[in-house]
Amino acid sequence: MQNDKILFVTSEAAPLVKTGGLGDVGGSLPTALKALKCDIRIVLPAYREVLRIAGKLAMVGLIDVSNSSVVRILEGKLPNTHVTVWFIDSPAHFDRPGGLYAGPDGHDWHDNAERFTVFAKAAELIALNQAGLNWYPDIVHCNDWQSALVPALLAHQPRRPASVFTIHNLAYQGLFPAETFERLRVDFQLPPDLWDIHSMEFHGLFSFVKGGLVYSDMLNTVSPTYSHEIRTPAFGNGLDGLLVHRAERLVGILNGADYAVWNPATDPFIAKNYSADKFGGKASNKTALQERFGLPVKPDTPLIGMVGRLVEQKGGDLVLQVIPNIIGEYDVQFIVLGTGDKRFELAFTQIAANHPDKIAVHIGFSEELAHTIESGADMFLMPSRFEPCGLNQMYSLRYGTIPIVRHTGGLADTVIDATDESLDADTANGFSFDIAAPQALRATVERALHLYRQPQLWSQIAKRAMAADYSWSRSARAYIDLYELARQYRNTDKPYR
Ligand code: ADP
Ligand code: GLC
């Protein structure tokens, strides 16, 4: 509904802070909802890096979240928008060097459970209008395990807003030992009944994500296909039974792409702007990309890009297995940008060192390089083992950079494989394969390389890809419907348990 008051609780929100797609969504979904006239406020931890770039902030509240922690609420705006952000300022928990969830050594922060309990308690008090902000939301929308305790805390309140929980990635659950729960329970006065297998206990551990899955009025995942996959043992990470049980409350809403940021016609990061009508401009970006990564500048050599977290999920092992054969047989170049597991970082660095004229790798996080690769590559590789939605394939489509993906989750919902039939029907916009095995990936890359040699067909696919519309407006409307359902359940139902 218009004028819905929504409290959007997230641990990432671009452009302030982002480690992956959650950050993109945390920035662009609230902005899209604001454009639909929702009164939306974001709650975000005041990480050190965020405080550095957030601009001028006002102190608007001070709240006790535990026996020993008082947090300040700082108010600002999401850059370039009118969306209000309430930053939860607890220096002991968030003002530190290193990553959002892990320290400089790559290990998770030892106090993550406490950090995100401080965050959740603060969000709960804001949601209940007990933080002195004089604002009572209709809906509290939480995202992934870092804010999943919030629906559980709210469910224990007699008077509360409706709650919605979005699963961006079920593989990250926020699991902590029983002793940690016991400590949190005492320090934060958590309800003791959270320790129960029907609540947040999970095989002897305290599971943050279960707080969202068990207690929220409505649940969603970020693509329709993933919302079905997670009800099966293969994708459910042990939670498929619970998700089947809550199926009536679970829907899939495809993420949108923020075309204000990801648009080759206006992208300030790229060498030359281009569009479907002026597709020739892409060639300059390819040259710039090859130069930037020190690869031979060859306009006719197909260039395959890859950007993403280098973790098991993304199928990097499959890529590493097929690269040697492919570069042995074809004139082709690869460019990889990513950070993640050390073993993948090392393996990609090594393979690039062995084939410097065909493969270039940059280990690091760079928004600018991500745009440069999207604009300059001919194809984009994303052979994920699972993919709740995936944003990079949508960005690739918009840049006419043909995605090669595994048929799973949001990839299955956005990429239409180039078969004889789909080419005839002019529906193809990429390449996909079913089985997560090197042979299947290799065969699909080979199909793409062959089609690349047929310029007319290739430009037909590229044009179709660029025309696809995965903007936020439709998805944001679907969230408004979801909020309405949550509100109805909140009003008519007993709490879930
Ligand atoms: P996930 O959320 O699983 O990481 P998505 O495809 O949904 O995957 O979103 C990833 C987002 O993070 C994209 O915006 C992508 O460009 C960005 N990204 C990932 N790794 C890097 C990197 N090394 N440098 C810059 N951007 C990156
Ligand atoms: C997660 C998923 C990714 C999704 C993103 C934003 O990080 O891995 O598929 O696009 O969240 O919802």
pLDDT(107) > 60: yes
- Chain-centre distance of CA 321, in angstroms? 26
**Which residues share a beta bridge with 381?**
404
How large is the average pLDDT for residues 67-89? 95
* CA 226 to ligand 2: nearest atom: 9
Domain range list for the chain: 5-256+473-490, 279-468
What is the residue with the minimal CA distance to atom 27 of ligand 1? 308
Q: Residue 35 in contact with residue 258, Cβ under 8 Å? A: no
What is the residue with the minimal CA distance to atom 7 of ligand 2? 21
With a pLDDT cut of 70, the percent of the chain lying above it is: 99
Q: Over the stretch 249-285, which tens digit does the pLDDT of each residue have? A: 999 999 999 999 999 999 999 999 999 999 999 999 9
- Can you give the pLDDT at residue 496? 44
User: Which of the ligands is closest to the CA of residue 396?
Assistant: 1
* CA 168 to ligand 2: nearest atom: 11
What is the residue with the minimal CA distance to atom 12 of ligand 2? 168
Q: What CATH code would you report for 279-468?
A: 3.40.50.2000
Those residues whose C-beta lies under 8 Å from the C-beta of residue 150, and which sit 6 or more positions away, are: 9, 120, 123, 124, 127, 140, 142, 163, 211, 212
What is the 85 CA–ligand 2 centroid distance (Å)?
22
**Residue 240 pLDDT level (bands cut at 50, 70, 90):** very high
* CA 255 to ligand 1: nearest atom: 7
The pick from 226, 307, 393, 397 for probing ligand 1's pocket by mutation, whose C-beta has the most ligand atoms within 8 angstroms, reads: 307
pLDDT(348) > 60: yes
**Residue 497 pLDDT level (bands cut at 50, 70, 90):** very low
- Identify the residues whose C-beta falls under 6 Å from ligand 2: 20-22, 25, 168-169, 222, 255, 387-391, 410
pTM of the model: 0.96
What is the 222 CA–ligand 2 centroid distance (Å)?
7
**Residue 225 pLDDT level (bands cut at 50, 70, 90):** very high
What is the 186 CA–ligand 1 centroid distance (Å)?
38
What is the 365 CA–ligand 1 centroid distance (Å)?
9
- Identify the residues whose C-beta falls under 6 Å from ligand 1: 20-22, 24, 307-309, 337-339, 365-367, 370, 389-392
How large is the average pLDDT for residues 18-24? 96
* CA 388 to ligand 2: nearest atom: 9
- Residue range 5-256+473-490 forms a domain whose CATH class is alpha beta
What is the residue with the minimal CA distance to atom 11 of ligand 2? 168
What is the 294 CA–ligand 2 centroid distance (Å)?
31
Q: Over the stretch 28-54, which tens digit does the pLDDT of each residue have? A: 999 999 999 999 999 999 999 999 999
The pick from 142, 165, 169, 225 for probing ligand 2's pocket by mutation, whose C-beta has the most ligand atoms within 8 angstroms, reads: 169
What is the residue with the minimal CA distance to atom 5 of ligand 2? 21
**Distances in Å between the alpha carbon of 38 and those of 24, 124, 453, 461?**
19, 20, 49, 37
User: Which of the ligands is closest to the CA of residue 10?
Assistant: 2
End-to-end CA distance of the chain: 28
Name which of 285, 294, 290 is nearest 401 in CA terms.
Answer: 285
What is the residue with the minimal CA distance to atom 10 of ligand 2? 390
Report the distance separating Cα 243 and Cα 249, nearest Å. Answer: 9
- Can you give the pLDDT at residue 341? 92
**Distances in Å between the alpha carbon of 280 and those of 264, 276, 371, 449, 462?**
12, 9, 18, 19, 12
Name which of 321, 346, 319 is nearest 335 in CA terms.
Answer: 319
With a pLDDT cut of 90, the percent of the chain lying above it is: 95
Q: Over the stretch 270-324, which tens digit does the pLDDT of each residue have? A: 999 999 999 999 999 999 999 999 999 999 999 999 999 999 999 999 999 999 9
- Can you give the pLDDT at residue 105? 83
- Can you give the pLDDT at residue 131? 95
**Distances in Å between the alpha carbon of 119 and those of 69, 124, 459, 473?**
11, 9, 49, 29
- Average pLDDT over the chain reads 96
pLDDT(410) > 60: yes
pLDDT(221) > 90: yes
Asked if the domains 5-256+473-490 and 279-468 are classified in one and the same CATH topology, the answer is yes
What is the 191 CA–ligand 1 centroid distance (Å)?
36
What 3-state class would DSSP assign to 148? coil
| CA torsion angle 113 114 118 119 (round to 10) | -30
**Residue 198 pLDDT level (bands cut at 50, 70, 90):** very high
The pick from 25, 144, 365 for probing ligand 1's pocket by mutation, whose C-beta has the most ligand atoms within 8 angstroms, reads: 365
Report the distance separating Cα 258 and Cα 444, nearest Å. Answer: 28
What is the 405 CA–ligand 1 centroid distance (Å)?
15
Q: Over the stretch 144-188, which tens digit does the pLDDT of each residue have? A: 999 999 999 999 999 999 999 999 999 999 999 999 999 999 999
**Residue 67 pLDDT level (bands cut at 50, 70, 90):** confident
